[in-house]
Amino acid sequence: MTGTIVGQTLVIFQPNSELPRSLSLKNWRVKTKKIYFVQNLIRKKQHIEAVRFICAYNVANKNQSVDLLQEHVQSAKVTYESKCKTTNSIEIKGNTREEIASLGTVLRCISDYNIERADLLNEIQGRIIDLKRKRQVASCIGISQMN
C-alpha cells in the first residue's frame, strides 16, 4: 500500500486517490491541518492537549482520546517511579503531589468532554489513593528521620 499515514491511526490518505466526496477541498485541507496539529501534540507527548483538541474539533473518535489519556497516566506513573528511586522523603512528597495533579488534569479532561470509560476512571482513582498513601508514608519517614 502506497500512502501517507497522517497521525497515529487518525487517517490514511492515498496519494493520487480521489478526495472523499463529502468533503470539499477546503474542508479537507482544514481537517488535514488539524490532524497534523494533533499528531504534533502527540509527538511532543502533550496527550492532554491532544485530547482536548480532538474532542473540541471532532478530529478523531473518543476511543483514540481514551488511548492517549491512558498513555498519559502510564507516562506519569513511570516518571514518578523513576524520580522516587533515589530521592528523600521530601522530594517523594513533591513528586507525589505532581503526579496527583497530573491525574487530576486527566480527570478534568474526562469530565469536560464526557469521555465515559469506567476502567480508566477506576485506574486513575485507584492510583490517586495509592499515591496519597505513599505521600503519608513519606511524611512519617521524614518525621522519624528528623528525630
List, in sequence order, the alpha helices (H) in the chain: 25-43, 47-57, 62-84, 89-112, 118-146
| Domain of 50, in residue numbers | 4-146
The whole model's pTM is what?
0.71
CB neighbour class for 37 (10 Å; exposed up to 12, middle 13-18, buried from 19): middle
The three grid cell numbers given for residue 18, joined into one nine-digit string = 480521489
What is the average pLDDT score of the chain? 79
Which tens digit of pLDDT belongs to each residue from 60-86? 887 889 999 999 999 999 988 888 777
Report the C-alpha gap between 100 and 142 in whole angstroms.
Answer: 20
Pairwise CA distance, residues 4 & 13, whole Å: 6
What are the pLDDT digits (tens) for 30-41?
Answer: 878 888 999 999
> Looking at the 3D structure of the chain, how many domains does it have?
1
